[in-house]
């Protein structure tokens, strides 16, 4: 089934550790996105990529980095995790301005 695969599904991480959340899509969409979802704050855009080789900052980019080496993969890296990065992270893809397709999410807890 075509779609977006995120890994890991869930992770507990010590503060200060480095963590990479993986995201792969098989729909050949040009654009990919990372959001974090927090209670009462909805989904906030962290970083996005309009096409392979380009990335951009969203609403809450600090503490996160991304890369887009090819069309299918869009990993999100926390270089040194902090407790405020405890959240549910969703990867998504689209051919704008079309429908945004979401992964199932990655629940990250930073202690």
- The reply to whether 43 sits near other proteins by the rule CB under 8 A is yes
CA distances from 70 to 42, 75, 107, 110 (A): 29, 11, 25, 29
Contact 110, 21 (CB under 8 A): no
Among 19, 23, 31, 110, binds other proteins (CB under 8 A): 31
Beta bridge partners of 31: 94
- Segment lying near other proteins (by CB under 8 A), choices 13-21, 63-71, 77-85, 91-99: 91-99
Nearest to 83 by CA among 61, 108, 105: 108
Stretch that binds other proteins, among 8-16, 18-26, 39-47, 68-76 (CB under 8 A): 39-47
Q: Which of 27, 99, 109, 111 lies at the binding interface for other proteins (CB under 8 A)?
A: 99
For 51, which DSSP code? S
Selected from 2, 14, 40, 62, the binder of other proteins by CB under 8 A is 40
């Amino acid at each position: 089934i075509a779609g977006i695969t995120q890994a890991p599904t869930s992770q507990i991480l010590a503060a200060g550790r480095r963590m990479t959340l993986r995201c792969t899509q098989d729909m050949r969409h040009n654009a990919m996105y990372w959001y974090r979802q927090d209670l009462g704050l909805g989904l906030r855009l962290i970083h996005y990529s309009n096409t392979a080789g380009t990335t951009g900052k969203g609403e809450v980019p600090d503490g996160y980095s991304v890369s887009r080496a090819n069309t299918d993969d869009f990993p999100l890296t926390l270089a040194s995790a902090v407790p405020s990065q405890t959240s549910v992270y969703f990867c998504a893809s689209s051919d704008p301005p079309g429908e945004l397709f979401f992964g199932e999410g990655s629940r990250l807890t930073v202690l």
